[in-house]
A and B are shown apart, each in its own frame.
Chain A
């Protein structure tokens, strides 16, 4: 089974987030970078699927040159190939991102290297747009399932399960298909030492997609006002129990 996984480089926030002077981005001077937990799980799932039924595994990202770090992380986990869709460092909106990704997949398909399964994280950690996988699927004319927490591929179909309102919903899609996954679908492995060495040497397939306009445009970012809470310290250790119970009573949660 041939699998493509799309990931997005995002900062690894600390206990607070602070903004750049122009208020259009996060100040990343002291931050490391990663991908969302959903996407880490998508990479793990791709490695498992292409190991169980041998096939091609490709990780793709759209971002600046530095996003190669996230591609190498995915290779160190077991992905075989990596594609960087190089941007000018500007943030691309979900329409433009989906269009660029779909164009690459179409080009691969036209040259005989199409994918059976295209995996995404359910939503990006930073922008939370919830639409890129669906837009890609529509451009390609293939079915899509989102929020998936279990995948199995059999023959020419994929069975995907997600949780909804306390029930488990099952989808059976004919391949090729797009699936966006959620953290919890698996436990991602730590990269092995040979994996890291391989990642260091891996060739990165660089492409420069043409930017398309996006109807959703960022004006500025701001940090939400805090709840303005100053914690009332109820006490230390077990001695705090009577005060805790008073609070529970005042909230009407235990009998008065």
Chain B
């Protein structure tokens, strides 16, 4: 038997969420003594092959087709289905990304199989899988069973730490050219424009300085920007901050925004609603700065400063600048 895992790649890099998916898929594969097979669309860079090998893949299925240069969820799913037909896997795993959800959703619809998103654990049994998945973006956990000949599982973002395998085997490479119908490409991306280069994305940042209602306005975020720059990090906002237009929506940390996993999250003037906490629970350390010592966020923080962020942050910035 085997477990298939969809792996995204961009240039020579495999994004963190794909490595988390591979790690999860490996935990499923070892239970059934199955082979772990990575599936990539588009010819991968040698560094990508090395990376999936290091994360325990023993097979690599490379799907190439000229029309797959632009992302098309249904076409990727058709390709995955054709690999699935050849490999007969017990499970197909996808990363908890837009593309991962799209492709697995299409695979589920095309095969009429059930699918579980947000998985953090899965145990393969006879005729089905017992799994733990997140609800409310991780504020609740669900124990569920999935009965299907092949389990389709998308992994919860930032909750399954990526880990290389203890030992890496020689990887076997298989090439596929999928048969595609026009309707597979009806929903393909017709263009892609990169945003300004050099900006640190929220989901990859080592330090995130987040601001909420307590910041008070769009211009008042300047002091957060200054601290983030000093620490080599980036700025995020609560739903209040983005709904009021103080920050663009893409800066939102939370259930309907980005799930972050920095080394340190500095939450300034954020009360800590569960939808926000769902977005920052994978931060390794949390420093909360709030005027209210009883704010819910103080209960989830490692470090707390009670006070007005507009007094605390300038003092912190001055103290950092004063360091020898």
Q: Does A247 contact B (CB under 8 A)?
A: yes
B219-254 near A? 1/0 per residue, CB < 8 Å: 000000000001110000001001101001110100
B305-324 near A? 1/0 per residue, CB < 8 Å: 11110011011101110011
Q: Is the CB of B140 within 8 A of A221?
A: yes
| A125 CB contact (under 8 Å) in B15, B136, B305, B318 | B136
CA separation between A168 and B248, bound complex, in Å? 15
Across-interface contacts of B51 in A (CB, < 8 A): none
Instruction: Tell me how far the C-beta of A40 lies from the nearest C-beta in chain B, rounded to whole angstroms.
Output: 10
CA separation between A253 and B320, bound complex, in Å? 10
Q: Is the CB of A187 within 8 A of B274?
A: no
Mostly helix, strand, loop or mixed at chain A's interface?
Answer: mixed
A206-242 near B? 1/0 per residue, CB < 8 Å: 0000000011111111111011010111111111111
Q: Is the CB of A174 within 8 A of B186?
A: yes
Instruction: Tell me how far the C-beta of A8 lies from the nearest C-beta in chain B, rounded to whole angstroms.
Output: 13
Q: Is the CB of B305 within 8 A of A235?
A: yes
| B285 CB contact (under 8 Å) in A123, A125, A251 | A251
| A16 CB contact (under 8 Å) in B207, B274, B306 | B274
Instruction: Tell me how far the C-beta of A12 lies from the nearest C-beta in chain B, rounded to whole angstroms.
Output: 10
Interface size on A, residues (CB 8 A): 85
Q: Does B154 contact A (CB under 8 A)?
A: yes
Q: Does A17 contact B (CB under 8 A)?
A: yes
Q: Is the CB of A169 within 8 A of B192?
A: yes
Q: Does A172 contact B (CB under 8 A)?
A: yes
Q: Is the CB of B114 within 8 A of A244?
A: no
- 8 Å CB contacts to B: which residues of A112-152? 123, 125-131, 133-135, 137-139, 141, 143-147, 149
CA separation between A174 and B183, bound complex, in Å? 11
Given known pairs A218-B144, A219-B144, A231-B299, the reply for A237 and B311 (CB within 8 Å) is yes
Q: Is the CB of B135 within 8 A of A127?
A: yes
CA separation between A235 and B122, bound complex, in Å? 43
Q: Is the CB of A253 within 8 A of B231?
A: yes
Across-interface contacts of B308 in A (CB, < 8 A): 237
B184-215 near A? 1/0 per residue, CB < 8 Å: 00111111111100010100001100000000
Q: Is the CB of A240 within 8 A of B312?
A: yes
Across-interface contacts of A169 in B (CB, < 8 A): 71, 189, 191-192
Given known pairs A17-B139, A235-B305, the reply for A215 and B298 (CB within 8 Å) is no
Q: Does B137 contact A (CB under 8 A)?
A: yes
A183 to chain B: closest residue by CB: B256
Q: Is the CB of A173 within 8 A of B186?
A: yes
Mostly helix, strand, loop or mixed at chain B's interface?
Answer: mixed
Q: Is the CB of B231 within 8 A of A254?
A: yes
Q: Is the CB of A143 within 8 A of B303?
A: no
Q: Is the CB of A245 within 8 A of B323?
A: yes
A150-166 near B? 1/0 per residue, CB < 8 Å: 00000000000011111
Instruction: Tell me how far the C-beta of A141 lies from the nearest C-beta in chain B, rounded to whole angstroms.
Output: 7
| B201 CB contact (under 8 Å) in A38, A128, A166 | A166
CA separation between A17 and B288, bound complex, in Å? 22
Given known pairs A16-B274, A145-B187, A146-B102, the reply for A231 and B303 (CB within 8 Å) is yes
Instruction: Tell me how far the C-beta of A106 lies from the nearest C-beta in chain B, rounded to whole angstroms.
Output: 15
Q: Does B98 contact A (CB under 8 A)?
A: yes
Instruction: Tell me how far the C-beta of A159 lies from the nearest C-beta in chain B, rounded to whole angstroms.
Output: 8
Q: Does A28 contact B (CB under 8 A)?
A: no
- 8 Å CB contacts to A: which residues of B266-324? 272-275, 281, 285-288, 293, 296, 298-308, 311-312, 314-316, 318-320, 323-324
Across-interface contacts of A143 in B (CB, < 8 A): 74, 183, 186-187
Q: Is the CB of B187 within 8 A of A254?
A: no
Q: Is the CB of A131 within 8 A of B105?
A: yes
CA separation between A174 and B188, bound complex, in Å? 11
5 smallest beta-carbon distances between A and B, as pairs: A215-B114, A184-B249, A237-B307, A241-B315, A238-B315
Q: Can you identify 6 A-B contacts, CB atoms within 8 angstroms?
A: A93-B114, A128-B117, A135-B109, A183-B252, A240-B307, A251-B264
- Taking A137-B109, A229-B302, A245-B319 as known contacts, 10 extra A-B pairs with beta carbons closer than 8 A to each other, sorted by chain A number, are A14-B274, A123-B101, A128-B118, A135-B108, A162-B98, A221-B142, A224-B138, A237-B312, A238-B312, A240-B305
